[in-house]
Amino acid sequence: MSGEDAPAQQQNAVDQKQETKPAEEPKAEPPKTESAEAAATPAATTEKAPEEETFTYRALVLTGFGGYDKVKLQVKKGKPALKAGEVLVRVKVCGLNFADLMARQGLYDRLPSPPVTPGMECSGVVEAVGEEVTDRKVGDKVMVLNRFGLWQEVAVVPASHTFLIPDGMSFEEAAALPVNYITAYLMLFDFGNLRPNQSVLVHAAAGGVGIAATQLCKTVKDVTVFGTASASKHEAISQGGVTHAIDYRTKDYVEEVRKISPKGLDIILDPLGGSDTHKAYNLLKPMGKLITYGAANMLAGQRKNLIAVAKNWYHQFSIHTLSLIQGNKSVCGFHLGYLDGEMELITQAMNTILDLYKQGKVKPRIDSTWHLEQVGDAMRKMQERNNIGKVILTTEPMPEEEKKEEAKKEDKKEDKKKEDKKKDDKKKDDGKKEEKKDDKKKEEPKKEEKKEEPKKEEEKNDEAKKEEK
Amino acid sequence: MSGEDAPAQQQNAVDQKQETKPAEEPKAEPPKTESAEAAATPAATTEKAPEEETFTYRALVLTGFGGYDKVKLQVKKGKPALKAGEVLVRVKVCGLNFADLMARQGLYDRLPSPPVTPGMECSGVVEAVGEEVTDRKVGDKVMVLNRFGLWQEVAVVPASHTFLIPDGMSFEEAAALPVNYITAYLMLFDFGNLRPNQSVLVHAAAGGVGIAATQLCKTVKDVTVFGTASASKHEAISQGGVTHAIDYRTKDYVEEVRKISPKGLDIILDPLGGSDTHKAYNLLKPMGKLITYGAANMLAGQRKNLIAVAKNWYHQFSIHTLSLIQGNKSVCGFHLGYLDGEMELITQAMNTILDLYKQGKVKPRIDSTWHLEQVGDAMRKMQERNNIGKVILTTEPMPEEEKKEEAKKEDKKEDKKKEDKKKDDKKKDDGKKEEKKDDKKKEEPKKEEKKEEPKKEEEKNDEAKKEEK
């Protein structure tokens, strides 16, 4: 997932202010020269100047760090050049991840400085292959994993960052799978070394990684899954395999776990960071593994909240080896975004996950599908934790009527929303100064109550959506 | 391994200043009452008062924290009482561990205050069983794992802390196996999650844990083992399975590893602590696991070396979770002595190890066998790292002639040795003040050179020894 070339792609493209329809399916594939000339000509399509100029595509671009409105839909011009080993993918669906939210706030150092196209995963169809690519061909349905640059209609990525979509898997599922399932898989089965009869705590069990982790836990005999989520999501996560659902907003999850498992837990997946990591550490059994993979506690409000960041930093867990020795404990850190160059490891994990998918043992759950124009709302839904499952974006063009309605809604709402949000953030910040810790529990119900009305009917899956139109 | 009852056993016994021969094999086993009276009578042998009084056995006792001479051979009187669930073991052979050396210096908090009998492992024969013991019987050959209290001729332990010795395994091997192999096993296969094609760094590869770890690594396909040891031990560790032997006294092991494995290592077992833990962390691959299981760097000289302890503490590795996340790394701490009450886990590990033993895949290597009277020399050999494999003690009485010779040698040598040692320690302390770090490499060859002549011919195994007599 080096993704180093995505910025180059963007430099090739010329921003246009007006939106245009995405290009039709390409009439002809670019000439595919074989290995002989491979080293000499990095771009395989240099001959086709006319098409290069008329080629346009829509791309989401992070224009600066800040709120949801910092991600803008732009139209790029010029067909991106392909280097050896790369493929050009016509993107169908993009996945949203917490790292994208962090990145927007300037809290994720794996994203180059704006302007830049975010997006770590997508699904689509191979539209052109560069030289030296032997295992992908035009027309292949693929899912893609990259450090960034996938929230656009056309993406150029190393072929090694693509995985063939198995029969029966939709583009929606394919876009929802890579980051969450590889993350959950490597945490549970590499660091966690999950075995039968063990117990696992999954925070945010209704989130993308949470659902993936729960499903993967259930592939091992007699694993007990403790899952935290707000009460409204308990039915869903219990159906998904969580053994004990805990409402972290009204209860102390540590106490709840201890009631059922007094000795503590074998594995704890910690996406929260800060003081929750301390709690997790203390909740481990001997030989237990704490795997921390995020700092969601840093995200308070849509813009960088310096107090939340500072608090998270201040409460950041730090451990001495002598304590680890005396406790017989393991502390691991995981982030797929930092696993650059470990494509062999990732491919192994992906192959196992796809086998499990084919066996019907894992299946991504889609919370909602949004148009590129709605990326702000999509991000908000995820950040405010109103999702059950994966939030995804479709590159399918928004019908004109919907677009007009959306624009009207936006005009009216945006100003108000911004004002509200500013006040809201300020309130939270002030409030935080008074609270020492564990404020999350108290704050989040507030957020839940003042949740804005859904922007549009949630489209549970693509099929349903298509029928509506 | 609660071992809580060993002190009680010692209180029952009366110290005697003169040494006596150990009691003969018991004429009759104590009455074995079945479960009915179990709760009421904790001690099954209360009727046999006369035997209780004449029963004597030799025990090593740590009389205070300090040098090798703080462990004294004493004679205890009175047969220890058995509680429900316990067995009385006639000890044949005892294993020495680094924790015993730490304990003698007052650096190991799992040993009660002196006077106390050290010893975490031994082999022997069950001589009596308490009530409620169903899976052990008189005459069973067992190996024992306990928090302490096993360096004596007779030990009372929970039956659950004993493991049947498989056919073909000698008492020497049985005493050498539990601590080293369970430690290596849980580190490599629980925390480490060792898999084919991975790479492992084993420090002190000629030590007990080092040899066990190397053998266990070789049970997994295509594992590369980097092993550190002084050059004189390279042949032995290479024969034992180490792929790349590194002389840490003359070379920088980090550089040596990088030459062969530029990306770093999958698993590092770190018994050293201090600055070596930092090196290990930096030497990990993404998804790599550092398992620290000791602080051997603290041991400098035979008495507690406050500077070494302070330095180890000062250089103690401490890690923030954000670093772990960005590195995709795992840091684990392990110490069998703190795994109280995890007998199920330990028994599972032991069963797997015994299976591997039966398959001929693992086999403890004995460095040398010493009489109880020679425990000081045995400890010295281990602490000065002159051993290849396990240092063990036999409870077999020392022949009278040998004893006299030993006494003469001791008289002459002890005073000199103490003086030398004091000077030596002082020199080291002074030296240390000037050296900033990595002094180990420079000091240890010195120690090696001025190594005293062996106290007695090393007895490579029990059979050989018996023939000599």
B108 at the A interface (CB within 8 A)? no
Specify the pLDDT at position B408: 73
Q: Which residues of B touch A220 (CB under 8 A)?
A: none
- Residue B420, helix vs strand vs coil: helix
Closest-CA residue of chain A to B294:
A325
Pairing of the two strands A86-95 and A390-394: antiparallel
**How many Cβ atoms from other residues are within 10 Å of residue A73's Cβ?**
17
- One digit per residue, the tens of pLDDT, for chain A of length 469 reads 443 344 334 444 444 443 333 433 333 333 333 333 333 344 444 455 566 678 999 999 999 999 999 999 999 999 999 999 999 999 999 999 999 998 898 888 888 999 999 999 999 999 999 999 999 999 999 999 999 999 999 999 999 999 999 999 999 999 999 999 999 999 999 999 999 999 999 999 999 999 999 999 999 999 999 999 999 999 999 999 999 999 999 999 999 999 999 999 999 999 988 889 999 999 999 999 999 997 666 666 667 677 776 666 666 778 888 889 999 999 999 999 999 789 999 999 999 999 999 999 999 999 999 999 999 999 999 999 999 999 999 999 988 888 787 777 666 655 555 555 554 555 444 444 444 444 443 333 333 333 333 333 344 333 333 333 3
Closest-CA residue of chain A to B343:
A286
**A333 or B434, which is more confident:** A333
B112 at the A interface (CB within 8 A)? no
A310 at the B interface (CB within 8 A)? no
Q: Which residues of A touch B319 (CB under 8 A)?
A: 318-319, 331
Specify the pLDDT at position B176: 98
Which of A148, A277, A218, A403 is CA-nearest to residue B319? A277
The mean pLDDT value for B234-263 works out to: 96
CB within 8 Å: A325 and B334: yes
Interface probe with A: pick from B2, B289, B328, B347, most Cβ of A within 10 Å: B328
CB within 8 Å: A292 and B325: yes
Kindly calculate the radius of gyration of chain B based on its CA atoms and give it in whole angstroms: 22
CB within 8 Å: A330 and B332: yes
What is the DSSP code (8-state) at residue A301?
S
Rounded to whole angstroms, the Cα distance separating B384 from B453 reads 13
B289 at the A interface (CB within 8 A)? yes
Closest-CA distance of chain A to residue B262, Å:
14
Which ranges of A80-160 does DSSP label H, i.e. alpha helix?
98-104
Q: Which residues of A touch B333 (CB under 8 A)?
A: 321-330
Closest-CA distance of chain B to residue A374, Å:
31
Query: Which residue type occupies B251?
Result: K
Name A137's bridge partners.
Answer: none
Q: Which residues of B touch A334 (CB under 8 A)?
A: 325, 328
* Sign of the four-CA dihedral B297, B303, B309, B311: negative
A176's tokens: 């929802």
A348 at the B interface (CB within 8 A)? no
Closest-CA distance of chain A to residue B184, Å:
13
Which of B271, B336, B267 is CA-nearest to residue B298? B271
Q: Determine if residue B37 is left, alpha or beta; phi over 0 gives left, psi from -120 to 50 gives alpha, anything else beta.
A: alpha
Tell me how far CA of residue A230 lies from CA of A237, A241, A385, A388, in angstroms. Answer: 10, 16, 9, 11
CB within 8 Å: B292 and A321: yes
pLDDT at B417 over 80: no
Rounded to whole angstroms, the Cα distance separating B364 from B36 reads 42
**B436 or A148, which is more confident:** A148
Specify the pLDDT at position A37: 38
Tens digit of each residue's pLDDT (9 = 90 or more) over B364-413? 999 999 999 999 999 999 999 999 999 999 999 988 888 787 777 666 65
Of B321, B332, B338, Cβ closest to residue A292: B321
Closest-CA residue of chain B to A326:
B338
CB within 8 Å: B325 and A316: no
The mean pLDDT value for B152-163 works out to: 97
**How many Cβ atoms from other residues are within 10 Å of residue A418's Cβ?**
14
Rounded to whole angstroms, the Cα distance separating B135 from B132 reads 9
**φ, ψ (nearest 5 deg) of residue B237:** -75, -30
Tens digit of each residue's pLDDT (9 = 90 or more) over B295-343? 666 666 667 677 777 676 666 778 888 889 999 999 999 999 999 789 9
- Residue A164, helix vs strand vs coil: strand
Which ranges of A31-74 does DSSP label H, i.e. alpha helix?
49-54
**How many Cβ atoms from other residues are within 10 Å of residue A358's Cβ?**
13
CB within 8 Å: A287 and B338: no
Judged by average pLDDT, the poorest of B27-31, B124-128, B180-184 is B27-31
Of B321, B324, B331, Cβ closest to residue A324: B331
Say how many Å lie between the first and final Cα of chain B, rounded: 36
Closest-CA residue of chain B to A330:
B332
B185 at the A interface (CB within 8 A)? no
Closest-CA distance of chain A to residue B19, Å:
38
Closest-CA residue of chain A to B275:
A321
Report the interhelical angle of B343-358 vs B178-185 (nearest 10°).
Answer: 100
A286 at the B interface (CB within 8 A)? yes
**φ, ψ (nearest 5 deg) of residue B200:** -135, 135
Q: CB–CB of B176/B92 below 8 Å?
A: no
Question: For chain A, how many residues are written?
Answer: 469
Confidence of residue B50 (pLDDT cuts 50, 70, 90): low
The b-or-e profile of A90-124 (16+ CB within 10 A means b, else e) is bbbbbbbbbbbbbbbbbbbebbbebebbbbbbbbb
A293 at the B interface (CB within 8 A)? yes
Q: Which residues of A touch B292 (CB under 8 A)?
A: 321, 324-325
CB within 8 Å: A332 and B331: yes
A339 at the B interface (CB within 8 A)? yes
The DSSP string of B236-282 is: HHHHHT-SEEE-TTTS-HHHHHHHH-TT-EEEEEESS-THHHHHHHH
CB within 8 Å: B331 and A330: yes
Rounded to whole angstroms, the Cα distance separating A272 from A311 reads 12
Specify the pLDDT at position B264: 97
Q: CB–CB of B146/B3 below 8 Å?
A: yes
B459's tokens: 């007895």
What is the DSSP code (8-state) at residue B23?
P
Average pLDDT, chain B: 81
Q: CB–CB of A6/A146 below 8 Å?
A: yes
Closest-CA residue of chain A to B278:
A321
Which positions 127-156 of B are in contact with A (Cβ < 8 Å)?
Answer: none
A282 at the B interface (CB within 8 A)? no
Specify the pLDDT at position B316: 74
CB within 8 Å: B321 and A316: yes
Which ranges of A315-461 does DSSP label H, i.e. alpha helix?
321-327, 343-358, 375-383, 400-434, 439-449
A218's tokens: 């259930």
Rounded to whole angstroms, the Cα distance separating A417 from A415 reads 5
ipTM over 0.90: no
Q: Give the containing element (helix H, strand E) for A319.
A: strand A318-320
Q: Which residues of A touch B322 (CB under 8 A)?
A: 273, 295, 316, 333
A17's tokens: 């202010």
Specify the pLDDT at position B32: 36
The pTM is what?
0.80
CB within 8 Å: B333 and A324: yes
Q: Which residues of B touch A338 (CB under 8 A)?
A: 286, 325-328
CB within 8 Å: A319 and B331: yes
Q: Which residues of A touch B295 (CB under 8 A)?
A: 322
CB within 8 Å: B328 and A317: no
Confidence of residue B7 (pLDDT cuts 50, 70, 90): very low
- Residue A166, helix vs strand vs coil: coil
**φ, ψ (nearest 5 deg) of residue B133:** -90, 115
Owner of token pair 């091997």: B173
Closest-CA distance of chain A to residue B4, Å:
18
Q: Which residues of B touch A277 (CB under 8 A)?
A: 321
